[in-house]
Structure 1
């Protein structure tokens, strides 16, 4: 496994944790403000690894954009949940899933290009 594969595997794990934490909050779990902050692990990865090592890769900026869309969508769902619109928040998980599929597709594509 080369360094790019290791880097992208780390991001993939952080992404899965992100989705899990979003779902957890929307089903009554504790909101982790540090995790979802601009200093959280996914943003830290983009700042320390993604945008420093792989900025020249065309899909890297798109991957970052999709992550920002995921974060914005999650915050919107948290707001719905906090206003008592629990069913709407749960229904909104489909948005997270669709963005996640796009994120993972871009990630796999980048990983494939850089694994050679």
Structure 2
């Protein structure tokens, strides 16, 4: 497995962990403030790896925007939950899943383009 493959696999794992941690909060767990911060692992991947290594590929910018949307959706769900709107927060998990599908689709396209550009 080369470096680019490792990079994309790391992001997939971080994305799955992101969704898992959102669900955990909505099922009564504690919010991991560090994980969901700007310096958390998903945002750090984009800052340290994604934009520097793959920033020239258009899907990278779009993927970063989808991640920002995922972050905003998670924050909205956390607020709903915190304010006692638990059913609405739980229903919002569907939005998170839809955005996750788009994220994974774009990640696949990014990986294909990186491969075509000889970065894999």
**Mapped contact 2:25–2:78 kept (Cα < 8 A):** yes
1:82 maps to 2:78: no
Q: Aligned residue for 1:8?
A: 8
Query: Residue 12 of structure 1 aligns to a residue in which SS?
Result: helix
Unmatched segments (≥5 aa) in structure 2: none
- Match for residue 52 of structure 1? 52
Match of 2:72 in 1: 72
5+ residue gaps, structure 1: none
Counterpart residue number, 2:39 = 39
Report the counterpart of residue 24 of structure 1 in structure 2.
Answer: 24
How far off is 1:35 after superposition?
0.2
2:113 equivalent in structure 1 = 113
Q: Distance in 1 between matches of 2:13 and 2:2?
A: 17
Offset at residue 54 of structure 1 (A): 0.6
Is contact 2:26-2:78 (8 Å) kept? yes
RMSD after superposition: 0.8
Q: Secondary structure at the match of 1:32?
A: coil
- Count how many residue pairs are aligned between Structure 1 and Structure 2: 116
Q: Deviations along 1:68-87, whole A, 9 cap, x unmatched?
A: 00000000000000000000
